[in-house]
Chain A
Amino acid sequence: MKITVCIGSSCHLKGSRLIVEQLQGLIKENALEDKIELVGTFCLGQCQTGVSIKIDDTLFSLAPEDTKSFFEKEALTRL
């Protein structure tokens, strides 16, 4: 599985760094380094609704404080 986090200007200001750091932590905690690839991207063209994030090809919009529940609900269930 590939999780892509937008690190463009808008998303950066809306907190993509906090999401990246939390996801890195969660992937490590659950020992999923082999199963989940975490990458960055510049601008997904959805700046208004950022932080933009993709699980494989599905687009989501995420706020930093919801990262943990998002990871449990959307990422873990798809593995």
Chain B
Amino acid sequence: MTESRQTIIVGSGPAGLTAGIYAARAQLSPLVIEGEPSSTSDQPGGQLMLTTEVENFPGFVQGIMGPELMSAFREQAARFGADYVTAKVSRVDLSSRPFGLWVGDPDTHEPSYEARSLIVATGAQSLMLNLPNEERLLGYGVSTCATCDGFFFRERKIAVVGGGDSAIEEALFLTRFADLVTVIHRRGELRASKVMQQRAFAHSKINFLWNTSVVDVLGETTVSGIRVRDNLSEEESELELAGLFVAIGHQPNTALFKGQLEMEDTGYLRTFDGTRTNVDGVFACGDVQDHRYRQAITAAGSGCMAAIDAERWLEDQQAETR
């Protein structure tokens, strides 16, 4: 049986859940398809589920834990009548209205859900390096989640790959446990914000390997080292360490919408005039359409915009059919 809704929200990070709060308060009784548990930031609660302290979300003077903030978002939307289903959308059909959404088996004739309007808030997930032995050693020294796995590297030597804010945040966090954190960056300077750079440069446990790429991860059952290449001299060498944390950036979770929603070459959804996509009645918010700011607060802000846009669009539709 296909369940019909005025508004369905796909994704449950700050964007999706803020859209949920606004849509619920607008009496649209939204359904949030929140995703399935995963350790790669494509999951209920979004990327903040993999962080610890969030220091820059307004209103929390002393900071707040990422997972705690997201559970408050979720409860707040539930309080106004948002419903949740813990599942991953496997297929969408945006070619006619109402839109069809499938969870589980994508090949059934009838969709699992029908939506008059759709808010896409599927976010982004961590990129991997795609090294020969990276996946084999994931969870055995290779990690994309410093807050989950940092604990296991007490008094060990580890490396963080990347040069942006998330790489530097991870490096700083990991100094709580590790003896030495080497930041490996393929360029000669960081992309991270000035305040993060200053903290990292001043830290006695952090050192830097500039203009260097990781070629492979070494180790039989757990990581014992990495092979790196100096991008200037092209010389390769090996580095002994116990852990490799990958923080080289993100890719938008848009595979589901290929061929149906307009995207940039990088896969991010295109939005027009607020949060509208190229399909009438489909709105996009949060990191899935934003590679520029990528903050919890900007995601939340655009989630609010998407819910308001969807509400007005639905009103206009009703006015037309009257």
* A, B: real partners: no
